[in-house]
Structures are given as structure tokens and as C-alpha cells.
Amino acid sequence: MFDRRTFLKKAGVLAGAFSANSLFNHLHAAEWGNLAEDYKNISPLEMAGNEDYWSVIQKGYSASSDPIIMLNNGGVSPSPIVVQQAVEKFNLMSNQGPSYYMWRILDQGRENLRESLAKLGGCSPEEIAVNRNATEALVTVIYGLDLNRGDEVIGSHQDYPNMMMAWKQREMREGIVYKQLSFKFPIENDDEIVAAYRNAITPKTKILHLTHVVNWTGQIMPVQKIARMAHDRGIEVIIDGAHSYGLLEFNIPDLEGDYFGTSLHKYLSAPIGSGMLWIKKDKISKVWPLVCAGDPKSDDIRKFESLGTRSFPIEQGIG
């Protein structure tokens, strides 16, 4: 007879996408590690044309040039084969007995995932919530912050449409004031961008909504400089990192925002429909959950993960 506790422990380790038994480690880690060692002294220019190296990367994906040539993985990236296999594996496991494997096995894997995402983001696991995309992450904050009629939020016309629509909806329902700046990108002078936000601030301004990398143009916004300016004036900062996370190298806290949301199915190539919310620890309690929570004013980041039944295979495939 199986000992239930031992079985659960072993199954949890097996299911964890970050474990030593993960599909990635079985299939690719050694091969990619050897390649990195072989080519560590070769210049980036030489590497760009080294077909031996890139053939290994190419073999890692099922996407091909037939019937279309892929030139966009900023919106949604195709997942590598190993990620597709992981999602399929966890999906098969779930369907062996959903109420058991989903809630008692795969649901427990979120804590390992949270720790690994926090390590990648250079932050505390207690500041990371796993969700489905940048829209869900950022709208959680946009709808979750207490604002009064007449309070101002400053964004731009170059922000992502879903974020603009969310703020406009609050403006329609609650009477907040949503102001949008307009920029003529590209702009190479950071001070010019910072000054535009500074000049738009009034005594009623409560929040700046910033897009780290503008998806329309590729403009990299000086979010740290803007955040410092805003904080000097007692204003909070929301950062849309949908098109920066996994593309630029940074630790989330170093941007000096208060809230950060991103999708993981873009430059990280995680399963389609995966995202992440970061909230500075001392700000968590003031944000209402988007769906529900037993204690909506809790300072536990997990209150933002009360989504009901969702795709546990996709969550574990993030690993």
C-alpha cells in the first residue's frame, strides 16, 4: 500500500517544472550548457552567423517558416517544444482526476514557481502573484486602488489600449480624472520625457501609469527617473512591463515603481496565457483583489490568485 504522504511528496517533486526531474533538464540543459561553454569566447557578431549554434535553438521550437514566417514574438511568442511538452504532460495528469491532481498536486507547485519567478525578477516571493497576462495583472491594480472623484491619473496615448480603456472606465463610473500625454517618439533625451510627466502633475495627481517599453515604437521609457520624480511628490507609480520583461535585463524593484505587471508568454516564451503581478510589499494591503478574497485587505500577495478553476498545466509550464 502507498503511504499517502510519501506519494504526495514524490508526486509534487515530479510535477514541479523547476525540479531536477523537469523536462527541460532531461532534454536540453546539458546540450545548451555544452554549447555555452564551447562558444563563450566567440564575439556576438560571429555568434550571430554561427549556424551550428542556432540550429540547436531552432530545433527547440516547432514553429517554422511554413506556412508563414514568424517576425513577431513580442505579442505572443511560440513556446519551445519542451514547454509545449510540459503543458501537455500536466494536462494529461490533470485529466486523470482533476479534483485530485489539479488541486492537491499541481496547485501546490505554485509556490516553487513563485520563488523562481522572484529570483528572476530580483524581488521577494511575497511580492509575486501568478496570473494569466499583463492585462489581468495591471487591471488588478487599476481597479484595486481606492480613488476619489476628482483624483487624477496621468498616462499617455502611447500606453497599451486595455490599460487606457480600464482607466477610462473608472473615469466614467467614478469621476476620476484621466489625463493622457502625447509623445513624438523616438525621444533620446530622458529629461524631456520626465519633464512632460512633471509638468502635467497637479495637487490632485495620485498615480502615474507608465509603459516601460512602448510596443508601438520600441521606445524605452526612463521609468526609474520618472518614478523618483513622482515619489518626491507623494505620487504612486504603476509600470506596464509587458514588453520589457525578458527582453531587457533588470530587477523589478530597481525600476522603483510601486506596481508592475507583465505577460510571460512574450519574450520569456512561457505558455500562452501566463502572466505575473508584482506589488511592493507595503502596498499589497491597500489593493483590492480583482475577483475576490476572504480578506481583501490582507497583505498576502496570494489574495490576487483567487481565480477559481484555471489552467494549472499552463502555470506549471511557465517553469
Cα distances (angstroms) measured from residue 27 to each of 34, 79, 289: 13, 15, 39
Q: What is the pLDDT of residue 70?
A: 80
Q: What is the pLDDT of residue 6?
A: 56
The CATH class of 122-317 is alpha beta
Please report the beta strands in the chain, taking only residues with DSSP state E, as ranges in sequence order: 128-131, 152-156, 177-181, 205-211, 236-240, 259-263, 275-279
The neighbour count for residue 179, using CB atoms within 10 Å, is 15
Q: Whole-angstrom Cα distance, residue 271 to residue 87?
A: 8
Q: Encode pLDDT of 56-106 as tens digits.
A: 778 888 887 678 888 888 889 999 998 999 999 999 999 999 999 998 888
Judged on CB neighbours under 10 Å (0-12, 13-18, 19+), 284 is buried
Q: What is the pLDDT of residue 255?
A: 98
For residue 307, give the nearest of 146, 102, 120, 170 by alpha carbon.
Answer: 102
Q: DSSP secondary-structure letter at 150? A: T
Q: What is the pLDDT of residue 163?
A: 97
Give the residue extent of every domain in the chain: 4-114, 122-317
For residue 210, give the nearest of 192, 189, 230 by alpha carbon.
Answer: 230
Q: What is the pLDDT of residue 28?
A: 60
Q: What share of the chain is helix, strand, coil (3-state, %, to 5)?
A: 45, 15, 40
Q: What is the pLDDT of residue 25?
A: 56
Q: What is the pLDDT of residue 108?
A: 85
10-residue stretch averages of pLDDT, the chain, 319 residues long? 50 46 56 74 85 80 80 88 93 93 88 93 97 97 98 97 98 98 97 98 98 95 98 98 94 98 95 97 97 95 93 92
